[in-house]
Amino acid sequence: MKNFEFHNPTKIVFGADTVARLSTLVPHDARVLILYGGASAEKTGTLAEVRAALGQRSVQEFGGIEPNPSYETLMRAVAQVRSEKLDFLLAVGGGSVIDGTKFVAAAALHDGEAWDIAERGGANIAQALPFGAVLTLPATGSEMNSGGVVTKKATHDKLSFRSPLLYPQFSVLDPSKTFTLPAKQVANGLVDAFVHTTEQYLTYPVQARVQDRFAEGLLQTLVEIAPQAVASPDDYETRANLMWTATLALNGLIGAGVPQDWATHMIGHELTALYDIDHARTLALVLPALLDVQREQKRGKLLQYGERVWNITEGSDDERISAAIAHTRAFFESLGIPTRLSAYELGQEAVEAVLKQLAAHGMTALGEHRDIDLARSRLILEAAL
Amino acid sequence: MKNFEFHNPTKIVFGADTVARLSTLVPHDARVLILYGGASAEKTGTLAEVRAALGQRSVQEFGGIEPNPSYETLMRAVAQVRSEKLDFLLAVGGGSVIDGTKFVAAAALHDGEAWDIAERGGANIAQALPFGAVLTLPATGSEMNSGGVVTKKATHDKLSFRSPLLYPQFSVLDPSKTFTLPAKQVANGLVDAFVHTTEQYLTYPVQARVQDRFAEGLLQTLVEIAPQAVASPDDYETRANLMWTATLALNGLIGAGVPQDWATHMIGHELTALYDIDHARTLALVLPALLDVQREQKRGKLLQYGERVWNITEGSDDERISAAIAHTRAFFESLGIPTRLSAYELGQEAVEAVLKQLAAHGMTALGEHRDIDLARSRLILEAAL
- CATH number at A118 reads 3.40.50.1970
For helices A374-383 and A348-360, give the axis angle rounded to 10 degrees.
Answer: 150
* B1 in any annotated domain: no
- A349 Cβ partners below 8 Å, 6+ apart? none
Task: Among A4, A15, A245, select the one facing B210 at the smallest CB separation.
Answer: A245
Q: What gap in Å lies between CA B232 and CA B161, rounded to an integer? A: 35
What 3-state class would DSSP assign to B28? coil
Residue A279, pLDDT score: 93
The pLDDT of B255-277, averaged and rounded, is 96
- Least CB-CB distance to A210: which of B9, B244, B256? B244
Q: Which has the closest alpha carbon to A78: A118, A105, A96?
A: A105
Residues B287 and B379 in one domain: yes
Q: Are residues A328 and A260 in the same domain?
A: yes
Whether B31 and B53 map to the same domain: the answer is: yes
Residue A133: what pLDDT? Answer: 98
Query: CA-nearest residue of chain B to A16?
Result: B3
Q: Are A7 and B6 inside 8 Å of each other by CB? A: no
First to last CA, chain A: 37
pLDDT at A158: 84
The answer to whether residues B97 and B190 belong to one domain is: no
| Neighbour-count burial of B289, counting CB atoms closer than 10 A to its CB (0-12 exposed, 13-18 middle, 19+ buried) | buried
B1, B5, B245: residue with CB nearest A11? B5
Closest by Cα among B9, B12, B206, B210 to A197: B210
Quick check: helix, strand or coil at residue B174?
A: coil
- pLDDT for the residue numbered B158: 84
Inter-chain residue contact A240 with B13, CB threshold 8 Å: no
pLDDT for A157: 85
- Give dist(CA B359, CA B365) in Å, integer: 10
Q: Are B254 and B236 in contact (CB under 8 A)?
A: no
Same domain, B191 and B261: yes
Q: What is the DSSP string of B58-121?
A: EEEEE--PPSS-BHHHHHHHHHHHHHTT--EEEEEESHHHHHHHHHHHHHTT--S-THHHHHTT
Spatial separation of the C-alpha atoms in residues B366 and B380, rounded to whole Å: 12
The Cα A33–Cα A88 span in angstroms is 6
* Residue B133 resides in a domain: yes
CATH code of A342's domain: 1.20.1090.10
User: Above 90 in pLDDT, residue B156?
Assistant: no
Indicate if A258 and A356 belong to the same structural domain: yes
Nearest to A241 among B18, B209, B245 (CB): B209
Residues A353-377 pLDDT 10s: 999 999 998 999 999 999 999 999 9
- C-alpha span between B213 and B218 (Å, rounded): 9
- Are residues A12 and B14, on separate chains, in Cβ contact within 8 Å? no
What is the DSSP-derived secondary structure letter of residue B372?
B
What average pLDDT does this structure show over B81-89? Answer: 98
For residue B6, is it within any domain? no
Q: Give the pairing type, strands A4-6 and A11-14.
A: unpaired
B3 closest CB neighbour out of A3, A18, A218: A18
Q: Which of A151, A177, A203 is the last residue of a domain?
A: A177
**Residue B368 in domain:** yes
CA of A3 to nearest chain B CA: how many angstroms apart?
4
Chain B residues whose CB is inside 8 A of the A209 CB are 221, 224-225, 241, 245
What φ, ψ does residue A89 adopt, rounded to 5°?
-105, 140
Q: How far apart, in whole angstroms, are the C-alpha atoms of residue B74 and residue A122?
A: 45
- Collapsing DSSP to helix, strand or coil, B160 comes out as strand
CA dihedral B181, B184, B186, B187 (to 10 degrees): 170
The residue in chain A having the minimum alpha-carbon distance to the alpha carbon of residue B254 is A214
Q: How many CB atoms lie within 10 A of CB B117?
A: 25
Which residues of chain A have a CB within 8 Å of the CB of B241? 1, 207-210
Residues A117 and A159 grouped into a single domain: yes
Alpha-carbon distances of B359 from A216, A232, A265, B151, B355, rounded to whole Å: 44, 49, 59, 17, 6
What is the 3-state composition of chain B as percent helix, strand, coil, each rounded to the nearest 5? 50, 10, 35
Chain A residues close to B15, C-beta within 8 Å = 1-4, 257
Residues A322 and A349 in one domain: yes
* CA atoms of A290 and A123, how far apart (whole Å): 29
Residue B373 pLDDT: 98
For residues A126 and A211, state if they share a domain: no
Q: A167 CA to chain B: closest CA distance, Å?
A: 11
> In degrees to the nearest 10, what's the CA dihedral of A77, A81, A86, A90?
20
What lies within 8 Å, CB to CB, of B248 at 6+ separation is: A210, B141, B214, B218, B254
| Domain assignment present for A211 | yes
Name the 3-class secondary structure at B297.
coil
Q: At what angle do helices B374-383 and B279-293 cross, to 10 degrees?
A: 110
Question: What are the pLDDT digits (tens) for A76-126?
Answer: 999 999 999 999 999 999 999 999 999 999 999 999 999 999 999 999 999
User: What number is the average pLDDT over the span B189-210?
Assistant: 98
Last residue of a domain, one of B144, B162, B177: B177
* Structural domain count, chain B: 2
Please report whether residue A6 resides in a domain.
no
Alpha-carbon distance of B248 to B34, in angstroms, equals 25
Distance (Å, whole) CA A278 – CA A272: 6
Closest Cα to residue B2, out of B267, B215, B258?
A: B258
Half-sphere exposure of A42 (CA within 13 A, CB side): 8
Q: Distance between CA B108 and CA A166 in Å, rounded? A: 34
With an 8 Å Cβ cutoff, are B11 and A7 in contact? yes
Residue B338 — very low, low, confident or very high, per pLDDT cuts 50/70/90? very high
Write the DSSP symbol of residue B149: E
Q: Are strands B147-152 and B157-162 parallel, antiparallel or unpaired?
A: antiparallel
In a domain, A195, yes or no: yes
Closest CB to A16 among B3, B213, B245: B3
Whether chain B has a CB inside 8 Å of the CB on A40: the answer is no
Nearest to residue A6, comparing CAs of B120, B138, B243?
B243
In single-letter form, the type of residue at position B319 comes to: E
A217 contacts chain B (CB < 8 A): yes
Distance CA B119, CA B124 (A): 10
Single-letter amino acid, residue B258: V
Give contacts of A6 with chain B, Cβ < 8 Å.
Answer: 11-12, 14
- The region that residue B151 occupies, defined by phi over 0 for left and psi between -120 and 50 for alpha, beta otherwise, is beta
**B51: confidence class by pLDDT, cuts 50, 70, 90:** very high
Q: Please state the φ and ψ torsions of residue B91, each to the nearest 5 degrees.
A: -80, 130
**Distance from C-alpha of B368 to C-alpha of B259, rounded to nearest angstrom:** 6
Q: By C-alpha distance, which of A308, A258, A305, A369 is closest to B237? A: A258
* Residues B155, B243 within the same domain: no
Euclidean distance between the first and the last CA atom of chain B, given in angstroms as a whole number: 37
Query: Do B234 and B114 fall within a single domain?
Result: no
Question: pLDDT digits over B170-182, tens only?
Answer: 999 999 999 999 9
All residues of chain B having their beta carbon less than 8 Å from the beta carbon of residue A1 are 14-15, 237, 240-241, 244
**CA angle A133-A198-A371, nearest 5°?**
115
Give B6 to chain A, closest Cα distance, Å.
5
Alpha-carbon gap: A312 to the closest alpha carbon of chain B (Å): 16
Give me the domain span that covers residue B303. 182-383
- Please say which residue of B126, B143, B177 terminates a domain: B177
Helix (H) or strand (E) holding B290: helix B279-293
The answer to whether B84 and B116 have CB atoms below 8 angstroms apart is: no
In the prediction, which pLDDT does A20 show?
Answer: 98
**Are B249 and B145 contained in the same domain?**
no
Closest CA to B135 of B95, B162, B169: B95
Question: What residues of chain A lie within 8 A of the CB of B12, using their CB?
Answer: 4-7, 256
- Domain assignment of residue B284, yes or no: yes
> What are residue B297's phi and psi, to 5 degrees?
-65, -30
Counting every residue written for chain A, the total comes to 385
The beta-carbon neighbor of B241 closest among A1, A18, A224 is A1
pLDDT in tens, chain A (385 residues): 999 999 999 999 999 999 999 999 999 999 999 999 988 899 999 999 999 999 999 999 999 999 999 999 999 999 999 999 999 999 999 999 999 999 999 999 999 999 999 999 999 999 999 999 999 999 999 999 999 999 999 988 888 999 999 999 999 999 999 999 999 999 999 999 999 999 999 999 999 999 999 999 999 999 999 999 999 999 999 999 999 999 999 999 999 999 999 999 999 999 998 999 999 999 999 999 999 999 999 999 999 999 999 999 999 999 999 999 999 999 999 999 999 999 999 999 999 999 999 999 899 999 999 999 999 999 999 999 9
DSSP character at residue B143: G
